[in-house]
Structure formats: structure tokens, C-alpha cells
Amino acid sequence: MPVLLLKLLLTPLLITLASLAGRRWGPAVGGWLVGLPLTSAPVAVILTAEHGADFAATAALGILGGVASQAVFAVAYARSAHRGGVVGASAAAIAGFAACTVVLSRAPLPLAGMLGVSLGALLISLPLFARGSGGERRTARTAMRLPAWDLPARVVVATGFVALVTGIAGAAGPRLAGLITPFPIYAAVLTVFAHRALGPRAAAATLRGLVLGLFAFVSFFAVLAATLPRLGWTAFLAAAAATGLVQAASLHSVSPPPVAPAGARVASRP
């Protein structure tokens, strides 16, 4: 119950911030923000307080493995968005996440193996996202004309998904729950709304931003799983420091190109 309450309280704030960032700087930045462990990290804190460091470290290992499933989700949606529409792309993404989760649940790996799988999945998925020239700039400008109901609808849909997925995870047992917990609820909501409003290109930009943000997610839970049994609560500080460094390093990859001042002329090439 505390975990569900925490997620339900954080969801409106996180979706609002990510959506506004996406409107200002483009959908890739919104996806990049929700790639951070903004809800999974507090969940790890609660697990540590309620069940101890060893239990939480095991859960962190499962959550780390779920990053590979998120990468599969992102690629499956982006590759299906042009021909399958929102419904077809969503079905393909959820099926991909579920299939990867089943595989990982049947093949328990140590920390080094889970870290390798997660990083490998992220590195393999990145080249599969095509980036259109100037697409992020045009998308950011277009997104500012979305209707007034768009943001409240995102919050309602995301909160409903949080309640559903948290309920499923709670009934799945500790091992499978760790793999289910990273289901990209916030990224899914941002992606679907971007797809409906701006097209598959914006959806792909959101998901590419998610994958870039997941490198910081990996760093947090890798450090936490490795150090929590020995360092206790200090492990969270080490994990947060690693996350900040990795996230800062990835920022340039999602930053939209600078917009020229009004009235400025673009020099033509000879």
C-alpha cells in the first residue's frame, strides 16, 4: 500500500513536468526525463525500510534487468508506429516487454550478467531510432498548440496505469515483481499522446529519449544492488551520484538544436 500511494502521489507531478518539458524542448527531452528512476528509487527506499538491505538489493537486481524489457518496448513501438498506428504499436510494445520479462524471469543472472544484458539492450536499441533533421525543433513548436484537455488526460491515464501495473506486480511475487516494476508507464503515456497529436516521428523521438535516460536508471540500480548490503543507506547517496553523472553526460544527445531569433536569416550554402 505505501508503494502504491507513493506512485499515485508522484504520478501527476512527474507526468506534468515531463509533458511541459516536452512541449518546451521537444518529446525527446520528455522521454529522457521519465527514464530517470523517479518512482523506482523511492520504492527501493521503502523496501529497504520495510524488509532490509538484502531484500532491497535483490529487488534492485530485478529492476535492473527490467531495463532490457523497456528497451524492447521502445524499439517495438517505434518500429511499429508507422504501419500499426497507436493501437498496433502499443500492442507490439507491450508484447515485447512481456516476452523479455518472461525470458529474464526464467534465466536468473548475477549482477554482472544483468548489467551486461541491460546495457547491451540499450546500446543495440539506440541505432534503431531514426532522428529526423530538425524534427525535435518542429515538434516542440507544434506541441505548444495542443488542446487544454491534453495535459489532464495524460495525468488521469498515467495514474490509472500506475494502479493497474502496481497491482499486478504485487501479486507476482518478489522476483517477477522486480522485473515488472520498470514497466515504462510514464513513457508509454507520453509516447501515445505524442503519437496521436504529432505522429509516429514524435513517438519515436520520445522513446529514443527514454532509452538515453535509461543509462542513468541502470547506473542507479547497478550501484544500489552492488553496495546496499554493505553500505546500507549510504548506498542510495552513491547511486544518486552515479545517476546524476550519467544523466548529465546524456543531456547533449536529447537537446534540441538552437532556434534562430525571430527575423534572423539563415545563410545559404554556396
Residue-wise pLDDT for 167-224, tens only, equals 665 566 666 777 887 888 878 888 888 898 888 988 988 898 889 889 989 999 999 9
Residues 6+ apart with CB under 8 A from 148: none
Judged by DSSP in three states, 84 sits in helix
- Report the pLDDT value the prediction gives residue 173, as an integer from 0 to 100: 65
CA quadruple 51, 101, 125, 196: dihedral sign: negative
Q: The pTM is what?
A: 0.75
Taken as a whole, the chain contains a residue count of: 270
pLDDT of 255 higher than 70: no
Banded model confidence at residue 45, pLDDT cuts 50, 70, 90: confident
Instruction: Give percent of the chain with pLDDT exceeding 70.
Output: 66
Q: Which residue has the cell 549510504?
A: 234
- Report the pLDDT value the prediction gives residue 28, as an integer from 0 to 100: 66
**Poorest-pLDDT segment among 54-63, 134-143, 236-245:** 134-143
pLDDT of 254 higher than 60: no
- Report the pLDDT value the prediction gives residue 118, as an integer from 0 to 100: 94
**With contact defined as beta carbons under 8 Å apart, do 72 and 122 qualify?**
no
Q: What is the pLDDT of residues 143-157, one digit of tens each?
A: 445 566 666 776 776
- Report the pLDDT value the prediction gives residue 156, as an integer from 0 to 100: 74
Can you give the C-alpha Rg of the chain in angstroms? 19
3-state helix, strand, coil split of the chain in percent (to 5) is 80, 0, 20
Banded model confidence at residue 125, pLDDT cuts 50, 70, 90: very high
Residue 29 or residue 212, greater confidence? 212
User: In whole angstroms, what is the distance from residue 251 CA to residue 245 CA?
Assistant: 10
pLDDT of 40 higher than 60: yes
- Report the pLDDT value the prediction gives residue 128, as an integer from 0 to 100: 86
